């Protein structure tokens, strides 16, 4: 319950607009050494596409000490549900993957990098990173200052890679098809991966979080507008070497903030070949 209140206080900065305190650990501190940081009041408006606003990265490394699977679920269930609303990925799948990949929140990778989904650096990653022994010794893994960024990056990782595209044709409350589809798409090499996810979902009744969101009308993901069908309103820009969000925004006469909102981005990092949605009335610009 303490950690539930902890994370809710962080969310309240953006949904209520009040001041909050959070317990963080600096990069040089052990899990036992903690300090209080006051987060200043910051107004944030929810975007009209259903995407909830992410906290600004203060540079402080926030570490959670999770004592049980139940506490993990209690701490991150609401974040998983908000990601489900924004991206159409079942909250149960997100939570089950988080539990499994993070070692129930106690794994070394999760503790030192806040990487709850075992996502490696991959080509184009320009964020923080750390090295960890996995399939091979000293592999590069993405590092986040707060677990919320790991949850968002997990959604973006699935949404923006073509090999996972077929998953978004499934109902977002059909966790069994999603579990099998993740293995089919190559998320994990373990042939028992679907069964492990399904077992976690049913043991901890994670499917109830899908049901809550489905009742609100989010049982299917939102279909993106086809580029050809909406040529006068939007287009896709493929990132080239040397592109920045600023240069792209100038090219299409849009703001950097709009580019980030349309593409569910919480930082300014771009990867060559990345596809960005650009909404503009001037298609030929």
CATH code: domain of residue 176: 1.10.530.10
CATH code: domain of residue 259: 3.10.350.10
Whether residue 239 sits in one domain with residue 196: no
Whether residue 68 sits in one domain with residue 89: yes
- pLDDT more than 70, % of the chain: 72
**How does residue 225 score in pLDDT terms, banded at 50, 70 and 90?**
very low
pTM greater than the 0.85 cutoff: no
- Please give the mean pLDDT across all residues of the chain: 77
**How does residue 220 score in pLDDT terms, banded at 50, 70 and 90?**
low
Q: Which residue has the higher pLDDT, 281 or 206?
A: 206
Whether residue 261 sits in one domain with residue 212: no
pLDDT of residue 4: 52
Query: pLDDT per residue over 3-33, tens digit each?
Result: 454 454 454 433 333 333 333 333 333 333 3
Whether residue 208 sits in one domain with residue 172: yes
Whether residue 247 sits in one domain with residue 197: no
Query: Does 138 reside within a domain?
Result: yes
Whether residue 212 sits in one domain with residue 106: yes
Query: Does 40 reside within a domain?
Result: no
Whether residue 100 sits in one domain with residue 190: yes
Give the span between the Cα atoms of 238 and 276, in whole angstroms.
Answer: 6
Of 218, 240, 265, at which residue does a domain stop? 218
Residue 208: CB atoms within 10 A of its CB come to 12
pLDDT of residue 21: 32
For residues 167 and 185, the answer to whether their CB atoms sit within 8 Å is yes
Query: Does 44 reside within a domain?
Result: no
Query: Per-residue pLDDT averaged across 258-269, rounded?
Result: 76
- Give the number of domains in the chain: 2
Whether residue 177 sits in one domain with residue 102: yes
Helix (H, G, I), strand (E, B) or coil at 230: helix
Domain region containing 238: 228-279
Whether residue 106 sits in one domain with residue 88: yes
Whether residue 214 sits in one domain with residue 155: yes
Query: pLDDT per residue over 182-195, tens digit each?
Result: 999 999 989 999 99
Query: Does 37 reside within a domain?
Result: no
Whether residue 184 sits in one domain with residue 258: no
Whether residue 236 sits in one domain with residue 158: no
Q: What per-residue string of b and e applies to 176-190 under the rule 16 or more CB within 10 Å gives b?
A: bbbbbbbbebebbee
Give the span between the Cα atoms of 150 and 23, in whole angstroms.
Answer: 18
* β-pair partners for 39: 20
């Amino acid at each position: 319950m303490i950690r539930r209140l902890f994370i809710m206080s962080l969310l309240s900065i953006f949904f209520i607009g009040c001041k909050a305190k959070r317990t963080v650990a600096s990069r040089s501190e052990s899990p036992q050494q903690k300090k209080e940081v006051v987060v200043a009041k910051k107004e944030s408006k929810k975007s009209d596409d259903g995407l909830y606003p992410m906290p600004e990265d203060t540079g402080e490394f926030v570490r959670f000490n999770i004592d049980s699977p139940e506490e993990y679920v209690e701490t991150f269930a609401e974040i998983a549900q908000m990601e489900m609303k924004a991206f159409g990925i079942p909250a149960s799948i997100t939570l089950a993957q988080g539990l499994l990949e993070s070692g129930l929140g106690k794994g070394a990778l999760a503790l030192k990098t806040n990487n709850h989904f075992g996502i490696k650096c991959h080509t184009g990653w320009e964020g923080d990173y750390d090295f960890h022994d996995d399939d091979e010794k000293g592999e590069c893994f993405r590092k986040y200052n707060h677990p919320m960024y790991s949850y968002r990056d997990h959604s973006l990782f699935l949404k923006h890679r073509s090999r996972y595209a077929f998953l978004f044709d499934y109902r977002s409350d059909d966790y069994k098809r999603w579990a099998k589809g993740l293995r089919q798409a190559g998320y994990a090499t373990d042939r028992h991966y679907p069964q492990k996810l399904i077992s976690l979902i049913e043991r901890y009744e994670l499917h109830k979080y899908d049901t809550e969101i489905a009742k609100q009308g989010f049982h299917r993901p939102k279909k993106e507008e086809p580029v050809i069908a909406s040529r006068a309103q939007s287009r896709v820009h493929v990132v080239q070497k040397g592109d920045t969000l600023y240069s792209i925004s100038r090219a299409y006469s849009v703001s950097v903030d709009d580019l980030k909102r349309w593409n569910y981005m919480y930082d300014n990092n771009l990867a060559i070949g990345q596809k960005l949605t650009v909404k503009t009335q001037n298609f030929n610009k």
